[in-house]
Amino acid sequence: MNADLAAIQDDALAAIGAAADSTALEQAKIDFLGKKGRLTGASALMKTLPKEEKPAFGQGLNAARQAITAALEEKQTALQDAADLASVAGIDVTLPARGLPIGGLHPLTRIKDDAIQILRRMGFALAEGPEIEDEFHCFDALNTPADHPARNEKDTFYFDSGKLLRTHTSSVQVRTMEGQRPPVRIIAPGSAYRRDEIDATHLSVFNQLEGLFVAENVSLADLKGTLIYFYQELFGADTELQFRPHFFPFTEPSFEIDIKLHVPGREPKWIEVAGCGIVDPAVFEAICKSRGDDVYHPDKVTGFAFGMGLDRLAMIKWGIKDIRLLIENDTRFLSQFA
Ligand code: PHE
């Protein structure tokens, strides 16, 4: 190789070898291979050489460029390896990993899943309906007169169109009967909305689960048997229930269900968990009118219905004191259920 080229290559390899970091290495690259670098400068000599010397000089140039490029790459890798090692210096990489935190189901999801599972075992199928409802499905078909307080603007969220956010999932029961002949055995879990003042036991949206069973000769005994079994499955075989007479426009007779709550160190107390009753014949008549047939005629079928707030059931099950915890997504609260 031409003596000048050999000297340039030697100097380049020495500079690369001496580069302590990537900035120095970049400088070495510029000094030798850059536009104004020494090897680039040497290549300009080409045109001054006699023709017969050109091929050898060209080969020499290539060889020097390749040697320098290879040295640059090798040094770059070595610098990177050293930086990688330095970044884990002092860390014992043989220690077991810390692991990712494990997520868990929200308490509302858990209580809903439990409730659905119990009711499905009893033959109830899941049904759905819209959260934005009309007055017919939410009130009129459910024998709720125009002047009933639940229909008040103060209690219900209305849209300008006259539609509303459903105040209960009973509307799904109406829709199911409109679309399906008896027998019907459904549950409708879903959100319901009321203009409640927000406090420790009220939100303006809550999670409801309603059920409906319509067939020939469905009786109050069926209703009681179903719901006693349900709550004892959910809260334990020793759960005590009481059916307290109440009024709902869409059922007659109607009851509220209380379960007896045992709080350590305190007198047990009854707490309301559901409304229920035997479907009022006026509801069946409205369904017949809407369907245009008489398969739901009150002389042919009877039924029972019930509705409960899942939020309250979760609060009872886990002793949660404030309903707002259920929607705040504070992981200090949620992680207790994971
Ligand atoms: N729809 C009632 C409510 O939201 C609950 C209920 C359902 C009562 C079915 C009786 C029968 O409070």
170 touches ligand 1 (CB under 6 Å): yes
Q: Within this chain, do residues 55 and 169 fall inside the same structural domain, yes or no?
A: no
- Domain end residue (candidates: 27, 59, 87): 87
Asked if the structure places residue 324 within a domain, the reply is yes
Asked if the structure places residue 64 within a domain, the reply is yes
Mean local confidence (pLDDT), 227-254: 96
Q: Quote the pLDDT of residue 193.
A: 96
Cα 237 from Cα 76, distance rounded (Å): 72
Q: Within this chain, do residues 198 and 319 fall inside the same structural domain, yes or no?
A: yes
Q: Quote the pLDDT of residue 1.
A: 58
What's the chain's Rg over C-alpha atoms? 40
Asked if the structure places residue 92 within a domain, the reply is no
Mean local confidence (pLDDT), 115-123: 97
How many other β-carbons are positioned within 10 Å of the β-carbon of residue 1? 14
Cα 235 from Cα 257, distance rounded (Å): 14
Res. 293 pLDDT band, cuts 50 70 90: very high
Our CA dihedral for 224, 230, 232, 236, rounded to 10 degrees, sits at: -170
Mean local confidence (pLDDT), 227-253: 96
210 touches ligand 1 (CB under 6 Å): yes
pLDDT of residue 266 exceeding 90, the answer is: no
Considering the chain, what is the average pLDDT of its residues? 93
Q: What is the largest CA-CA distance in the chain?
A: 119
| Residues counted in the chain | 338
What is the Å distance from ligand 1's center to 306 Cα? 6
Which domain, by its residues, includes 298? Answer: 107-337
Percent of the chain surpassing pLDDT 70: 100
Mean local confidence (pLDDT), 304-327: 95
pLDDT of residue 151 exceeding 70, the answer is: yes
Give residue 219's identity as a one-letter amino acid code: S
Q: How does pLDDT run across 245-257, given as a tens digit for each residue?
A: 999 999 999 999 9
Asked if the structure places residue 27 within a domain, the reply is yes
User: Residue 102 class from Cβ within 10 Å (0-12 exposed, 13-18 middle, 19+ buried)?
Assistant: exposed
Res. 153 pLDDT band, cuts 50 70 90: confident
303 touches ligand 1 (CB under 6 Å): no
Where would I find the beta strands (DSSP E) of 11-71? none
Where would I find the beta strands (DSSP E) of the chain? 125-126, 132-133, 164-165, 184-193, 205-215, 241-248, 251-261, 269-279, 302-309
Is 276 within 8 Å of 170 (Cβ atoms)?
Answer: no
Asked if the structure places residue 215 within a domain, the reply is yes
Q: Within this chain, do residues 197 and 235 fall inside the same structural domain, yes or no?
A: yes
275 touches ligand 1 (CB under 6 Å): yes
Give residue 7's identity as a one-letter amino acid code: A
User: Residue 263 class from Cβ within 10 Å (0-12 exposed, 13-18 middle, 19+ buried)?
Assistant: exposed
Res. 278 pLDDT band, cuts 50 70 90: very high
Q: Within this chain, do residues 154 and 272 fall inside the same structural domain, yes or no?
A: yes
Terminal-residue alpha carbon distance, the chain: 74
Q: What domain count does the chain have?
A: 2
283 touches ligand 1 (CB under 6 Å): no
Q: Whose alpha carbon is nearest atom 5 of ligand 1?
A: 307
What is the Å distance from ligand 1's center to 307 Cα? 4
- The pick from 170, 174, 222 for probing ligand 1's pocket by mutation, whose C-beta has the most ligand atoms within 8 angstroms, reads 170
Q: How does pLDDT run across 183-206, given as a tens digit for each residue?
A: 999 999 999 999 988 999 899 999
